[in-house]
């Protein structure tokens, strides 16, 4: 008898009242509301600029917009709850009724609660709801959750990442976090997983994960991949952050080939075209 241990993938992702079909790859547009992202003309000007940017990404084809107020770049220092709240809540308020699910990129349970009350439909947590309060904050609602793997903390995670087998360890970690989320009452069709490219990983670790992405299919939940502008692309191409579009598109397509269903990107317009070509090829 043939064994098929992979649970079937739901045909959709439920994010609050939004039901996103997974028949085609989805694009999550990145909106960072950090001091280096928008010229700082004060709190209102910054929120206006971030919301305008998010609306532009939606016009360009983003299926989800991901709003974050704490940088998780390698070496980034943590920010207080109050500071993070001041950055993101005014943006969420401005995006009410924008027509696509708005995701909150945070690891703070209290901010998750406030963001959900302000209209967020998805929680993108780089610590995979490890805080029981974060699990409780999301389980009691209908929001989607993105469970990401990270080794260490953003401040120090790139200092000496080590794995015996990065793919096996990341996959087993994510399998455990999916089990914990389901046990807490989060339905499988609300869960996404993400290997966390660049989060406590060398370029070699990131490439191993990208190459062996099909091994994550057995988790039975959709896979999100975020390679956009990341430093591994800089290592491979020798290009600075602002010049990594071609590398980002190449990595995005490789992730789709490996089974990723959601791409987290800065350059929505260009990624949309690449995804359309990928889909045309897949269906030919
Ligand atoms: C917040 N953030 C930065 N990079 C990311 C990635 O690759 N995945 C997810 N889920 N979040 C990210």
Nearest to 276 by CA among 249, 251, 258: 249
The Cα 170–Cα 150 span in angstroms is 9
Grouping H, G, I as helix, E, B as strand and the rest as coil, residue 251 is helix
What would the pLDDT profile of 22-33 be if each residue is shown by its tens digit?
999 999 999 999
Q: What is the model's pTM?
A: 0.96
Grouping H, G, I as helix, E, B as strand and the rest as coil, residue 129 is coil
Ligand 1 geometric centre to CA of 40 (Å)? 24
What would the pLDDT profile of 188-209 be if each residue is shown by its tens digit?
999 999 999 999 999 999 999 9
The pLDDT of 263-281, averaged and rounded, is 98
The pLDDT of 231-236, averaged and rounded, is 97
Ligand 1 geometric centre to CA of 228 (Å)? 9
What would the pLDDT profile of 130-176 be if each residue is shown by its tens digit?
999 999 999 999 999 999 999 988 888 888 899 999 999 999 999 99
Ligand 1 geometric centre to CA of 105 (Å)? 8
Predicted pLDDT at 6: 63
Choose, from 55, 94, 190, 230, the residue flagged as catalytic.
Answer: 230
Q: Ligand 1, closest atom to CA 196? A: 7
Residue 1 pLDDT class (50, 70, 90 cuts): very low
What would the pLDDT profile of 72-128 be if each residue is shown by its tens digit?
888 888 999 999 999 999 999 999 999 999 999 999 999 999 999 999 999 999 999
Rg over alpha carbons for the chain, rounded to the nearest Å, is: 18
Residues 6+ apart with CB under 8 A from 255: 210, 213, 225, 227, 263
User: What b/e string do you get for 156-179 counting C-beta neighbours within 10 Å, with b at 16 or more?
Assistant: ebbeebeeeebbeebbebbbebbe
Residue 3 pLDDT class (50, 70, 90 cuts): very low
Active site residue 244: no
What would the pLDDT profile of 45-82 be if each residue is shown by its tens digit?
799 999 999 999 999 999 999 999 999 888 888 999 99
């Amino acid at each position: 008898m043939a064994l098929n241990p992979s649970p079937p993938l739901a045909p959709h992702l439920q994010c609050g009242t939004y039901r996103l079909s997974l028949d085609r790859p989805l694009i999550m547009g990145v909106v960072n509301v950090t001091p280096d992202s928008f010229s700082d003309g004060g709190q209102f000007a910054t929120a206006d600029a971030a919301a305008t940017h998010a609306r532009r990404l939606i016009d360009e084809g983003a299926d989800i917009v991901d709003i974050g107020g704490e940088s998780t770049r390698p070496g980034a220092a943590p920010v207080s709850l109050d500071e993070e709240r001041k950055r993101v809540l005014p943006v969420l308020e401005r995006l009410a009724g924008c027509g696509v699910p708005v995701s909150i990129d945070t690891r703070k349970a209290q901010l998750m609660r406030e963001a959900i009350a302000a209209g967020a439909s998805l929680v993108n947590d780089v610590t995979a709801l490890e805080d029981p309060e974060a699990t409780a904050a999301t389980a009691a609602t209908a929001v989607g959750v993105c469970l990401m793997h990270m080794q260490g903390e953003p401040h120090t995670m790139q200092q000496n990442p080590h794995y015996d087998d990065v793919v096996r360890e990341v996959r087993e970690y994510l399998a455990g976090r999916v089990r914990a989320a389901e046990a807490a009452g989060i339905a499988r069709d609300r869960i996404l997983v993400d290997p966390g490219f660049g989060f406590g990983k060398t370029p070699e670790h990131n490439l191993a994960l990208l190459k062996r992405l099909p091994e994550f299919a057995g988790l039975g939940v959709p896979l999100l991949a975020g390679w956009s502008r990341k430093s591994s692309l800089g290592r491979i191409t020798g290009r600075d952050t602002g010049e990594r579009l071609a590398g980002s598109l190449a990595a995005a397509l490789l992730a789709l080939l490996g089974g990723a269903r959601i791409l987290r990107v800065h350059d929505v317009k260009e990624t949309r075209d690449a995804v359309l070509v990928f889909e045309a090829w897949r269906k030919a």
